[in-house]
Structure 1
Amino acid sequence: MGGYELVRSDDAPALAVDLEAGGRGPAKRAAGTSPAPAPARQRLVSLDVFRGITVLLMIIVDDAGAFIPAMNHSPWDGVTVADFVMPFFLFIVGVALALAYKRVPDKLDATKKAVLRALKLFCLGLVLQGGFFHGVRSLTFGIDLQEMRLMGILQRIAIAYLLTALCEIWLKGDEDVDYGFDLLKRYRYQLFVGAIVAITYMTLLYGTYVPDWEYQTSGPGSAEKSFLVKCGVRGDTSPGCNAVGMIDRKILGFQHLYGRPVYARSKQCSINSPQNGPLPPDAPSWCQAPFDPEGLLSSVMAIVTCLIGLQYGHVIVHFQKHKDRIMNWLIPSFSMLILAFAMDFFGMHMNKPLYTLSYTLGTAGAAGLLFAGIYTLVDLYGYRRPTVAMEWMGMHALMIYVLIACNILPIFIHGFYWKEPKNNLLKFIGIGA
């Protein structure tokens, strides 16, 4: 979804020898000889494989999450396998941006292209996740603009992609890089932006006052009901009184939020937790309130994940030896994981809906370790045959996401039926209504 689909290499001419493949850089030519033609730019295979694995994981989560709790998103605090999908995509986008913008001859032109791509991706997300399509079991489509969901997966990626691309285009130093610490000096302004973003998020999350609030809900054939959620707190990270949800309600409005919140599967809200189920008799008043897992404030921290991936991409650009690359990935990966678990232990829990700092560091560290492992297997030792399917999926990630994860392909198949809509191929294979 990220990488060479969102970030094509036309923004940055390829080096004479492909550094992504572990090359030695451009060779000097003898005097009086004509320059040799530059070889075609190669893809970083391990990045495609990583993207393909993430796409496959996303599909498995969508299909198996309802039956296997570990494959479904955590109802609130804590992480499951499903909670790694989004940060993995963001991390991959960051890595790919570093490779695409190795050379930026025209910063203004590169900026225009980045803005245009981000807008295209954001608009695609509005169509696919805004409610225009009514699901696999419905042959109707269309959305009241007053109720369109404004944020979603592609919208979040578009925001993170744009800010990270602008950082890579405009905020790079010119210092030489010989050691790992030289990267910190060359890209110090990007790291400063990441720190400012994280501090802003933490300040808003723990410093914003959340007052009491009210919402209305109604079911099919039932009258509208009003619920009062009593808060009056600061720094609360519970489902009902956190600043992330309050900011989305104030800016986006209730009608533009995701209507099936993940905390509806929590013990407080479902007698079948961690699956959906009837409300317990003593269920809190916020259980049926809308909450967007890809909201505004949580998407701020998604930018940090993308910026971290960008720094991992810089390692590929500046270090040619496999050993140097792997070591410069493993050290920060383990460091982020240790810090994340320490923060979680002391009460700053890993939480995907809020996209907490501990969650950001933990998932980024896991992404770094997985990427280093795939790179070692595929690019260092050359085991491409076992991963060829993942490589193909990674090269066509956006297409697969649109067709399968967004149910476009099942909806299309559902449109062909025998006599009645219920007699369709999806029903025959056990998917349709």
Structure 2
Amino acid sequence: MGMYELIKGDDNSGIADPNKNLVVIDGDDGLPHKGDIESGKKVSRSSTVAAVAALPASAPSSAPSSPRRWHRLVSLDVFRGITVALMILVDDAGAFVPGINHSPWDGVTLADFVMPFFLFIVGVAMGLAYKRVSDGVATAKKAVLRALKLFILGLVLQGGYFHGIHNLTFGVDITSIRWMGVLQRIAIAYLLAAICEIWLRSDDDVDSGYSLLRKYRFQLLVGLILTTIYMAILYGLYVPDWEYEISGARSSGKTFSVRCGVKGDTGPACNAVGMIDRKILGIQHLYKRPVYERTKQCSINSPDNGPLPPDAPSWCQAPFDPEGLLSSVMAIVTCLIGLQFGHVIVHFEDHKDRIFQWMIPSFILLALAFSLDFLGLHMNKALYSLSYTCVTAGAAGILFAGIYLLVDVYGFRRPTFAMEWMGTHALMIYILIACNILPVLIQGFYWREPQNNLLKVLGI
């Protein structure tokens, strides 16, 4: 973590500047920290920017030569808090309002924006945290260590160690642990984007949008290469027939066969994303409740969960990981896009210039997304398709620009205080609420029988 000075807005820009000499202080694992390891400066908790997934990197930087009034980039906190609130909303209300729950397959809903927003925040915060890097090797080692910590935390929280709020047991069978998950995907995206930010940027001066692209052209090239690899594998890899087994409570299990023998298929059964996860991770290590079990083919209550139709295809109950290996490639691209938005704050002083540099690529991404979807490359969260990457990144850019204008430029902080607080405590909220740790802890206290606990009284 370190102190990273954000260039203040120009007083002549025609827009009020409530945050002169704006400074953001953040940890490269997205968590509040007590001090700045590199500079030795002590930093209060209230001066930190925390995130569930905003994993900006620790980069050495010197303290200001003259006393300054320090402020954090509040809009990033607010954006993070809004994303946390959205996550809680869709998790809790999605079962009652299927329209905001994750799309069963093609298409996007409100819930499908949560993960890309967090990844976008990762990139923005990283652009600020890595503003100056004096020792690339040491900083890269710290990035690797922090990514590893986040990955391990994800394994504990999402790998199956906690069995659920209605099961007072814990522990996980290593033969069936889920290797991937939300935090694991964020760790991977953070690490790759951090390596790009540390090693892949030139010394060119920035005085325009074109010069900004030129300075970080190698990072953009990495994003293009990753996208090309993803598209080539998704549409060019042959997917053979496969099978899986469902164990019954009173039987040895039932085996289902899925006929494929195709390539370029983007349906639930025969896509390359699922095949790679089955081959590399193992089908027993994938998410057991696939999103496509709510499709019309697999649920009579679609888009809600429901019994299988009489003519349901054989793949309806097959495990599928929404945070799989190939789909995480495009998650890295989302993080790299957010990183470029963070660069705008570092290199442009005028508020209007910043907003302009954000809005143009955001609208381009949205236009590209809808064009690709129209041409048949549908928006799909489970596959993390190219059109899905573009539409969510474009929406994130526009939302962030709007929040920045309202909060950091015009100073409307009181109406967004709750979101700001949630943003600065996002990881804690995610662990306690989204991962059901708080309900599990509460359920551990009961009267005589484990079933007699506060959760039962509350109807949970």
- 1:354 aligns with 383
Q: Distance in 1 between matches of 2:55 and 2:99?
A: 32
- 1:61 aligns with 90
**Contact between 1:2 and 1:92, CA under 8 Å: does it hold in 2?**
no
Aligned to 2:124, the other structure's residue is in SS state helix
1:40 Cα offset (Å): 6.4
Name the CA shift for 1:11/1:40 in 2 (closer, same or farther; >3 Å).
farther
1:159 paired residue among 188, 204, 211: 188
Amino acid at match of 2:306: G
- 1:296 aligns with 325
Q: How does 1:420-431 map to 2 (within 5 A)?
A: 420-431=449-460
- 2:107 aligns with 78
1:204 paired residue among 233, 236, 243: 233
Q: Which sections of structure 2, spanning at least 5 residues, go unmatched?
A: 1-28, 32-48
1:241 Cα offset (Å): 0.2
- 1:253 aligns with 282
Please give the per-residue CA displacement for 1:156-203, whole angstroms capped at 9, x wherever unaligned: 000000000111111111111111111110000000000000000000
Please give the per-residue CA displacement for 1:200-225, whole angstroms capped at 9, x wherever unaligned: 00000000000111111123334411
2:144 paired residue among 115, 133, 152: 115
Q: Distance in 2 between matches of 1:7 and 1:301?
A: 17
- 1:178 aligns with 207
- 2:41 aligns with none
- 1:13 aligns with 61
**Contact between 1:198 and 1:304, CA under 8 Å: does it hold in 2?**
yes
Amino acid at match of 2:427: L
Higher mean displacement: 3-12 or 401-410 = 3-12
Name the CA shift for 1:204/1:380 in 2 (closer, same or farther; >3 Å).
same
- 2:18 aligns with none
**Contact between 1:171 and 1:187, CA under 8 Å: does it hold in 2?**
yes
Q: How does 1:81-120 map to 2 (within 5 A)?
A: 81-120=110-149
Query: TM-score scaled by structure 2?
Result: 0.88
Q: Distance in 2 between matches of 1:8 and 1:166?
A: 12
Amino acid at match of 1:366: A
Percent identity, aligned pairs only, is: 72
- 2:66 aligns with 36
- 2:430 aligns with 401
**Contact between 2:56 and 2:125, CA under 8 Å: does it hold in 1?**
no
Higher mean displacement: 274-283 or 222-231 = 222-231
Please give the per-residue CA displacement for 1:379-422, whole angstroms capped at 9, x wherever unaligned: 01000001111111111111110111000011000101111111
Aligned to 2:190, the other structure's residue is in SS state helix
- 2:308 aligns with 279
Q: How does 1:328-343 map to 2 (within 5 A)?
A: 328-343=357-372
Name the CA shift for 1:131/1:188 in 2 (closer, same or farther; >3 Å).
same
1:14 Cα offset (Å): 5.8
Aligned to 1:11, the other structure's residue is in SS state coil
2:401 paired residue among 372, 378, 383: 372
**Contact between 2:58 and 2:130, CA under 8 Å: does it hold in 1?**
no
1:2 Cα offset (Å): 4.5
Q: Distance in 1 between matches of 2:381 and 2:136?
A: 35
| Backbone CA RMSD of aligned residues | 1.4
Amino acid at match of 2:130: Y
Q: Distance in 1 between matches of 2:290 and 2:415?
A: 38
Q: Distance in 2 between matches of 1:391 and 1:232?
A: 50
**Contact between 2:298 and 2:309, CA under 8 Å: does it hold in 1?**
yes
Q: Does 1:389 align with 2:418?
A: yes
**Contact between 1:70 and 1:82, CA under 8 Å: does it hold in 2?**
no
Q: Distance in 2 between matches of 1:12 and 1:398?
A: 24
1:423 Cα offset (Å): 1.3
Amino acid at match of 1:416: F
Aligned to 2:88, the other structure's residue is in SS state helix
Aligned to 2:257, the other structure's residue is in SS state strand
Please give the per-residue CA displacement for 1:320-347, whole angstroms capped at 9, x wherever unaligned: 1110000100000011001100100110
1:315 Cα offset (Å): 0.3
Aligned to 2:228, the other structure's residue is in SS state helix
**Contact between 1:2 and 1:90, CA under 8 Å: does it hold in 2?**
no
Q: Distance in 2 between matches of 1:389 and 1:14?
A: 32
